[in-house]
């Protein structure tokens, strides 16, 4: 009888272990994050390298348990992370195909990425079709959520509305003599939206200003002789540009010798990643933003100090530019939501729906300060932004006259289209 009971107990224990093994294996399996950024092409050097470096720095530090509170737990809730990195270079149709491959063939758990607004707009409906939690970390066009609603898509970076409105406010405060402005922006979603919102915001804040030219060369054009000639002839006091990547490099190198930058002050809304390579080329007095409180404008907090040290160590020196922060905000927001859902699920690996519910409308701490998912029914982040003026000191570009603009001042309220809010007078801002 005793032997029978012992055998029965041992059999039950063996069965319990066998049943538990799949669940334990599931808990130990790394979570795969598909990371999409520019690995080749004209945007790779200034944007792709930094964003990949930021993501790889964070994942390595999370897996080692070296990130400060509240993110000190390893990985996501103790589960290690694995990055699957793909190239964002190429047409949007190519990016849709690559996205499908990430989800269907490589079977990633989450997708984080995209710098180009055109790619975000193309990928978003596919994310809902394939029902995969996707976080856009940089693309700025407000059209993403103003024109559609998505269940599986989130954006942890504020839209480019804050860039345009912040730039107009900074000009209104620092250039009371301003009478003429022109623009040169890339002819695609981000460039078009950036110029439209800047022009409209300036019309509200300084209606006496005259627009004396707007130029929209194609993305990646590389040669801007005709546009530079037209701008030089118009002689605007200020030139607005949302150029980034090699387009900005080429424009500055071509415009400098022709005297354009001596006669017109530049307002660059996305140029912060170029600071370290542009000493001697970017003129002092350029007004510059970093698409939020990141990069050279990052706050002095524990997470920011940790990130700068970890990034320099991994990348062999150099401070992280704003695009290095972009995947960090996305992955930390995802970690925060995952661990909330894990706790609510009794310690078991949460479902994607549970993670999305925890991310929706959440707030979380980052090296760029607090991020609030407070727009687009909890799918869109808001933050304030920062602008300053360049000054070269000992061969290094620094920022002076730095001004901060809170989120509620540079972002429309929930449910209101950005263009309508700006044209109606930005009442919450004023």
Please answer whether residues 115 and 46 qualify as being in contact, where contact means their C-beta atoms are separated by less than 8 angstroms.
Answer: no
The angle at the Cα of 229, spanning 227 to 233, to the nearest 5 degrees, equals: 115
Domains of the chain plus CATH, in order, are 26-158+299-382 (3.40.50.2300), 161-297+384-423 (3.40.50.2300)
Q: Give the total residue count for the chain.
A: 430
Please answer whether residues 139 and 119 qualify as being in contact, where contact means their C-beta atoms are separated by less than 8 angstroms.
Answer: yes
CA distance 76 to 42: 34
Of 140, 231, 132, 118, the C-alpha closest to 181 is 231
428 phi, psi to nearest 5 deg: -65, -35
pLDDT at 246: 87
pLDDT at 149: 94
Please answer whether residues 383 and 372 qualify as being in contact, where contact means their C-beta atoms are separated by less than 8 angstroms.
Answer: yes
Pairing between β-strand 81-87 and β-strand 31-37 as defined by DSSP bridges: parallel
CA distance 266 to 280: 15
Beta-ladder partners of 241:
268
Grouping H, G, I as helix, E, B as strand and the rest as coil, residue 332 is helix
Residue pLDDT tens, the chain, 430 long: 455 554 555 555 454 444 444 444 445 689 999 999 999 988 888 889 999 999 999 999 999 999 999 999 999 999 999 999 999 999 999 999 999 999 999 999 999 999 998 999 999 999 999 999 999 999 988 999 999 999 999 999 999 999 999 999 999 999 999 999 999 999 988 899 999 999 999 999 999 999 999 999 998 888 999 999 999 999 999 999 999 888 999 999 999 889 899 999 999 998 898 888 888 889 999 999 999 999 999 999 999 999 999 999 999 988 999 999 999 999 999 999 999 999 999 999 999 999 999 999 999 999 999 999 999 999 999 999 999 999 999 989 999 999 999 999 999 999 899 999 999 999 764 4
Please answer whether residues 260 and 234 qualify as being in contact, where contact means their C-beta atoms are separated by less than 8 angstroms.
Answer: no
pLDDT at 69: 96
């Amino acid at each position: 009888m005793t032997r029978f009971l012992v055998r029965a107990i041992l059999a039950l224990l063996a069965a319990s272990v066998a049943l538990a093994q799949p669940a334990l294996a599931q808990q130990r399996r790394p979570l795969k994050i598909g990371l999409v950024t520019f690995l080749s092409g004209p945007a790779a050097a200034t944007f792709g390298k930094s964003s990949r470096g930021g993501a790889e720095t964070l994942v390595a530090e999370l897996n080692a348990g070296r990130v400060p509170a509240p993110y000190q737990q390893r990985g996501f809730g103790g589960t290690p992370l694995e990055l699957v990195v793909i190239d964002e270079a190429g047409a949007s149709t190519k990016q849709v195909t690559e996205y499908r491959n990430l989800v269907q063939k490589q079977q990633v758990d989450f997708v984080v990425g995209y710098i180009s607004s055109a790619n975000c707009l193309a990928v978003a409906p596919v994310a809902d079709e394939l029902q995969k939690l996707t976080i856009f970390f940089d693309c700025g066009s407000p059209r993403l959520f103003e024109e559609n609603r998505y269940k599986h898509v989130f954006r942890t970076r504020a839209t480019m509305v804050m860039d345009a409105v912040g730039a107009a406010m900074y000009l209104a405060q620092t250039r009371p003599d301003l009478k003429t402005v022109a623009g040169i922006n890339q002819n695609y979603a981000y460039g078009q939206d950036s110029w439209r919102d800047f022009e409209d915001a300036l019309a509200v804040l300084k209606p006496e200003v005259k627009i004396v030219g707007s130029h929209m060369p194609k993305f990646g054009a590389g040669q801007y002789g005709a546009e530079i000639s037209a701008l030089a002839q118009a002689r605007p006091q200020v030139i607005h540009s949302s150029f980034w990547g090699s387009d900005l490099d080429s424009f500055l190198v071509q415009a400098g010798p022709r005297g354009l930058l001596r006669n017109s002050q530049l307002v660059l809304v996305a140029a912060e990643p170029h600071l370290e390579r542009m000493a001697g080329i970017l003129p002092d007095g350029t007004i510059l933003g970093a698409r939020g409180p990141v990069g050279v404008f990052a706050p002095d907090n524990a997470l920011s100090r940790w990130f700068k040290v970890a990034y320099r160590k991994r990348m062999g020196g150099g401070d992280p530019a704003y695009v290095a922060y972009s995947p960090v905000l996305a992955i930390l927001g995802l970690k925060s939501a995952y661990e909330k859902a894990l706790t609510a699920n009794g310690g078991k690996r949460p479902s994607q729906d549970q993670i999305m519910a925890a991310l929706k409308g959440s707030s979380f701490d980052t090296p760029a300060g607090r991020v609030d998912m407070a727009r687009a029914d909890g799918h869109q982040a808001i933050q304030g932004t920062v602008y300053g003026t360049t000054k070269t000191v000992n061969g290094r570009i620094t920022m002076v006259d730095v001004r901060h603009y809170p989120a509620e001042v540079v972002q429309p309220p929930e449910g209101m289209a950005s263009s309508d809010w700006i044209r109606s007078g930005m009442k919450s801002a004023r």
